[in-house]
Amino acid sequence: MASYKPGMFPAGGNSDTTYYLSLEKIKDNLWAGRVPLSSGAYPYNFRITNPDGTTTARLDDPHNPTMTNTATNVSSVSSMVYIPYNKKTMGKGDWLDRSVELPRKDKKTGTVETVAYTGAAGDVRGLAVYLPDGYNPNRKKPYKVLYLSHGMSGVPYGNELRWMNEGAVANITDNLIAGGRAEPFVVVTMNNQDLNWDYKRIEEDQFNYIMPYVETNYNVSDTPEGRAYAGLSMGGMTANRMYFNHADDFAYFGIWSYAVTGDELNKIGSYRNLNDPSVMVGVGIWDYLIDPVQNLHTALNEEGIKHAYIEIPAAHDWKAWHLLYAAFVEDHLWKKEKSKKKEK
């Protein structure tokens, strides 16, 4: 395995590029391994080869447990480790200092609540809700709210935790708010995996169940101007569909690491009011799904639809989505006039 060199970026995301490190036993009940890491937040989990040769995959670290939804008792799939930035050893340049992903050490931190709501089938479904530092349920002006979708997962349950845990949403949002680079707002993450990425079911769940629950139980905006929708990978396709079909219901969209294709994209001229919201399309330059994202960018340009487009030094994994989320919040979210100046 190569040693870390200044300027290195992580790049993984599928079975062809994911790196598996075999741990070596160094004493009884203690195993270890070394891997080069740049700064920022890193998910990790274990894959255990059992005595019978079968594999138990995606176990979190019992000494560093993952996030659990206390309302449903379902957990996410990875533990987290945070690497501080060191200019001397990690080099200088755009995207290398990822301190925004690290937990704050002062008290300027928000909270993440895990809750349950009743879905269309009468089933109990999970949500995770980030509340900013100083959240006031009685504030006269409601907080703006971002609805944020995860992507395809190997497990059907607990995906409402993925952005909050693996995605480091609370850390990133805390740091940007405390640094004056974002206004306080609420983030809501849901589970679309167990709806089998059926857009009609996701759409029904979003408008008939998730938003009414959130708007009833939290002091958040119920107007398009105060609402945003974003997502990664299959969640990026979902965000794209929300944009095409609900441009009047959200003022901001983030479409990352995947997008609609085929007939959905080809009939882009038939959708209404696509110029009204502020839209950020983004993807990693090593992402194996970069083509659909670039095609959406091209189609929007051909239709004269204003939007922001960003490519980052990353692939199809959480290290890409940390950067895309941070860029969205800092440069686009709730900054409609500023965003329009940067559009391409």
Q: Do you know the residue count of the chain?
A: 344
| pLDDT for 76 beyond 90 | yes
| pLDDT for 340 beyond 50 | no
User: From start to end of 285-339, where are the E strands?
Assistant: 308-312
Q: Domains plus CATH for the chain?
A: 99-342 (3.40.50.1820)
DSSP state of 143: B
pLDDT digits (tens, 9 = 90+) for 291-302: 999 999 999 999
Give CA angle at 220 (216, 224), nearest 5°.
110
- Strand, helix or coil for residue 160: helix
Model confidence band, residue 37 (pLDDT cutoffs 50, 70, 90): confident
CA 334/CA 344 separation, integer angstroms: 18
Model confidence band, residue 34 (pLDDT cutoffs 50, 70, 90): confident
CA 95/CA 97 separation, integer angstroms: 6
Model pLDDT, residue 1 = 46
pLDDT digits (tens, 9 = 90+) for 214-259: 999 999 999 999 999 999 999 999 999 999 999 999 999 999 999 9
Model pLDDT, residue 219 = 98
Model confidence band, residue 154 (pLDDT cutoffs 50, 70, 90): confident
The pTM of the full predicted model, rounded to 2 decimals, is: 0.93
Model pLDDT, residue 339 = 45
Please list, in sequence order, all residues whose beta carbon lies within 8 angstroms of the beta carbon of residue 336, skipping any fewer than 6 positions away. Answer: 251, 252, 278
Dihedral of alpha carbons 324, 329, 330, 332, sign: positive
172 contacts 100 by C-beta, under 8 angstroms: yes
Question: Which string of DSSP letters, residue by residue, matches 186-215?
Answer: EEEE---GGGTT-HHHHHHHIIIIIHHHHH
pLDDT digits (tens, 9 = 90+) for 179-201: 999 999 999 999 999 999 999 99
| pLDDT for 49 beyond 90 | no
Ramachandran quadrant class, 52 (left: phi over 0; alpha: psi -120 to 50; beta: rest) = alpha
Find residue 231's DSSP bridge partners: 149, 255
Number of H helices, E strands in the chain: 10, 16
145 token code pair: 């709210």
- Strand, helix or coil for residue 126: strand
pLDDT digits (tens, 9 = 90+) for 262-318: 999 999 999 999 999 999 999 999 999 999 999 999 999 999 999 999 999 999 999
295 contacts 302 by C-beta, under 8 angstroms: no
Model confidence band, residue 15 (pLDDT cutoffs 50, 70, 90): low
| pLDDT for 109 beyond 70 | yes
